[in-house]
Amino acid sequence: MKAVEVDVIQKIATDLFEAERNATEVDKFVDQYPELDVELGYDIQEALIEKKCKEENTKISGRKLGLTSKAKQEMMGVHEPSYGVLLENMQLNEGEPISIAPLIHPKIEPEIAFIFNKEVKGPSISVTDILDATAYIAPAMEIIDSRYRNFNFTLPDVIADNSSSSRYIFGEKLYKVEDVDLRLMGMVFKKNGEIIATSAGAAVMGHPARAVAWMANKLVERGQTIKPGEIVLSGALSEAFTIEPGDHFSVSFDGIGSLEASFT
């Protein structure tokens, strides 16, 4: 890696780290750094995660997929998904009111969580390989909070910003993956008692495990794998919804129960 690239990586990672810590927005970086491409975006994401682990005294708990649905890709003007890292200090507990005060402009998404009990190492990982390595699945919600002004970014920018990761929560009751058809599994998402989205697993790249397989095959290009014990959020089944203090969200899936979250 060239010295100038190392400087750019550290500079952008530090700006994103500070933006999150101070709950302030930054402008997307591609305008200032035309060399920012997907690869450099993942280099920055890695530097950011290393910094967060050190300064926040936390560690990696898993990964998340982003931009997996056609609708979301079109909305954001991108043509491929992204992934990000989940850290232990991003996990919330069911039943605890969640304060959005430390966040910039949080949004919430219904997702399916996969919990792995085997290592998954690309390349050539298929849907079957993912299902075979999955110990459990559970309903989940992801709180995303882009550090970019008005969620305005390009694919390399959002990758650098750890794919807008902020917080996550998943159901305490875990389910066996072979007991459901993840593709056809229906989902109802409610805000303050009213239905705001309905969907099915197939909204995530045709099959949620396909999104996870895509990620496993990308990770190996950077010498990384999904590790036993890690959780993977496989991508939103609907658009993301803005969270206001006092909001209550619930997600229900056919066959794997429901999950609730209240915000203050």
Rounded to a whole number of angstroms, the minimum distance from the CB of residue 7 to ligand OOG is 26
Report phi then psi at 234, rounded to 5.
Answer: -85, 5
Is 106 an interacting residue with respect to ligand OOG (CB under 6 A)?
A: no
- Counted residue by residue, the chain has a size of 264
Cα torsion 22, 44, 46, 240: sign: positive
Closer residue to ligand OOG in complex, CB, 117/242:
242
Q: Cα separation of 5 and 34, whole Å?
A: 12
Residue 154 found at the interface with ligand OOG (CB under 6 A):
no
- For 209, phi then psi, to 5°, come to -70, -20
Adjacent-strand bridge partners of 115: 136, 231
Q: Which is nearer to ligand OOG, 10 or 38 (CB)?
A: 38
- 237 is a site residue for ligand OOG (CB under 6 A): no
Among 162, 164, 166, 224, binds ligand OOG (CB under 6 A): 164
User: Residues binding ligand OOG: what is the number (CB under 6 A)?
Assistant: 15
Footprint of ligand OOG on 61-100 (CB under 6 A):
66-68, 72, 76
Give the type of residue at 83: Y
- The answer to whether 112 and 175 have CB atoms below 8 angstroms apart is no
Contact between 163 and ligand OOG by CB under 6 A: the answer reads yes
Instruction: Name which of 67 and 215 has its Cβ closer to ligand OOG.
Output: 67
Applying CB under 6 A, does 151 fall inside the site for ligand OOG? yes
CB atoms near residue 35 (< 10 Å): 11
Positions in the binding site for ligand OOG (CB under 6 A)? 66-68, 72, 76, 109, 142, 144, 146, 151, 158, 163-164, 235-236
